[in-house]
Chain A
């Protein structure tokens, strides 16, 4: 097994064994989307397409927040308790370490996201009778755009957590989240048909997500071992 898979598998295992992170992620990924989707369903007066587009819109902020929650365990905790110092002494490059961690975070966060969509759809169907349309664009959104944004959020926040001190990380964590929210809503507002499901919107979101992921990888590649060690508390 290559080191990428070794790291990713371990991060997944740790993420799925952290009860407090799972509870926080579960509450956030169920409560907020279900309530929002029900609100959209009521105001859309049973228009299935509008409800589907609404769910698609909600998934990205939820995905970003899930990435942030899982990052705290994978990046910040290991820095706080000093485990990262031992990992930096292994024959694994820092970039490979970052890649494995991001992949290991993305999988459980994505699983939680799919659960969130399923519960939201079931709740809407149960309370309003509106069925979510499983049209191809919605599936593309779920299968491609959402995981890319989770990875981009986890990657950028993780790289920042590697590079910054504890106090800066406490402050900048939320700055990053709101930065991501701002990017999403800006893209949706400047793209024609931004609040609906369209090829253009999904294309723009996918490209933007990939660019952010590439930026995160670039930044992770520029962080030095010295920078990480000197910001360990």
Chain B
């Protein structure tokens, strides 16, 4: 059973299709990036998954349950929307204590102390949240979202409105939480750099449809570009290195540029074989680097197609 399952999900508002036949799954323990331009339907998908909106057609499951009709299942899920869900006139500790009461957290005092230490807000625990910076509120919002040790946490644009330093802080925090709390993270974002750095799988939503759904590694290692760049040490007979590589059956294309050999491989897993062949032919290798497309290129390719054609 997957942590999140979406099958043929469609939803329209006032006659306008927002989601059309959206399907994807998120495995347990994954950090999943849900990408798309503003208005693509990302937040609508999250709201449907959380049971806040009904699906027009199709089926959604979180931990195998329908959150709209299941209070107990909602206790196993955490969520951070853009507004953090905090009361400005209450202290950081009181805000967390409130949610601890709603979720029935055991030994809330210790858990709150732990989380405030984790998000580096122990010194501000008794100060009103209204006096906090946007970044501090976001950190406290994340602490609130995971207070009850959810198995799945939905983060809706967690870096929105933050400066680069705070964005990095939130990114590191998500990674730390995923590792420490072993939870599935559903990250709704259009910060492509952030998603590429921390997510294992992504889905790109545009025009209400899923345009791509795969692991970040598979998407960024897509064919059509050099996959491996090998820098040769010393002058040597470089044209011979090119000829040797070009004759290998798993090398689809090969090009020598300066001291570097760019090879497009049929399978990225054959990189060691290529290196062995070159070393066996007497070449000394200084560096082997796997080149890939950035998530941004892939995203723009899919979103651009949609905006141009849909």
Contacts and interface: CB of A to CB of B under 8 A. Distances in A.
Interface in A1-45: 1, 3, 6-7, 10, 13-14, 17-18
Interface stretch (A86-94, A193-201, A202-210): A86-94
B281 interface: no
A82 B82 contact: yes
A13 B52 contact: no
24 contacts: A3-B101, A6-B98, A7-B102, A10-B98, A13-B94, A14-B87, A14-B89, A17-B90, A81-B83, A83-B87, A85-B81, A86-B84, A87-B85, A89-B52, A90-B74, A90-B75, A91-B75, A91-B102, A91-B103, A92-B102, A225-B53, A226-B54, A229-B47, A229-B52
B50 interface: yes
A90 B54 CA distance: 17
B89 A17 contact: yes
A100 to B, nearest CB: 10
Contact of B101 (A1, A88, A229): A1
B102 A86 contact: no
A105 B77 CA distance: 29
The 4 closest A-B pairs by CB, nearest first: A86-B85, A6-B101, A82-B83, A91-B75
Given A87-B85, A89-B74, A226-B53, 16 more contacts: A6-B98, A10-B90, A10-B98, A13-B90, A14-B89, A82-B82, A82-B83, A83-B83, A85-B81, A85-B83, A89-B77, A89-B79, A90-B74, A90-B75, A91-B74, A225-B68
B195 interface: no
Interface in A60-103: 81-83, 85-93
A7 B74 CA distance: 18
Contacts of A229: 47, 52-53
Interface of B: 47, 50-54, 67-68, 71-72, 74-75, 77, 79-87, 89-90, 94, 98-99, 101-104
A17 B90 CA distance: 9
Contacts of B98: 6, 10
Contacts of A14: 87, 89-90
Given A82-B82, A83-B85, A6 B52 contact: no
A225 B51 contact: yes
Contacts of A81: 83
Contacts of A87: 85, 102
Question: By CB atoms of chain A within 10 A, which of B52, B71, B90, B104 has the most?
Answer: B52
Contact of B52 (A7, A85, A92): A85
Q: At the interface, is chain A mostly helix, strand, loop or mixed?
A: helix
A14 B98 CA distance: 12
Contacts of B83: 81-83, 85-86
Nearest to B77: A89
Interface of A: 1, 3, 6-7, 10, 13-14, 17-18, 81-83, 85-93, 225-226, 229-230
Contacts of A3: 101-102
Contacts of B77: 89
Contact of A90 (B68, B81, B86, B102): B102
A1 B53 CA distance: 30
A82 B102 contact: no
Question: By CB atoms of chain B within 10 A, which of A10, A86, A88 has the most?
Answer: A86
Contacts of A89: 50-52, 67, 74, 77, 79
A93 B104 CA distance: 14
Contact of B86 (A83, A88, A91, A93): A83
B81 A86 contact: yes
Contacts of B80: 86
Contacts of B99: 90
Contact of A93 (B53, B71, B82, B101): B71
Nearest to B98: A10
B113 to A, nearest CB: 19
B82 to A, nearest CB: 7
Contacts of B71: 91-93
A225 B52 contact: yes
A88 B102 contact: no
B74 A18 contact: no
A199 B99 CA distance: 44
Contacts of B54: 226
A20 to B, nearest CB: 11
Nearest to A87: B85
A82 B81 contact: yes
A81 B53 CA distance: 19
A23 to B, nearest CB: 15
Contacts of A6: 98, 101-102
A82 B52 CA distance: 13
Contacts of B67: 89
A86 B46 CA distance: 12
Question: By CB atoms of chain B within 10 A, which of A6, A90, A229 has the most?
Answer: A90
Contacts of A82: 81-83
B235 to A, nearest CB: 64
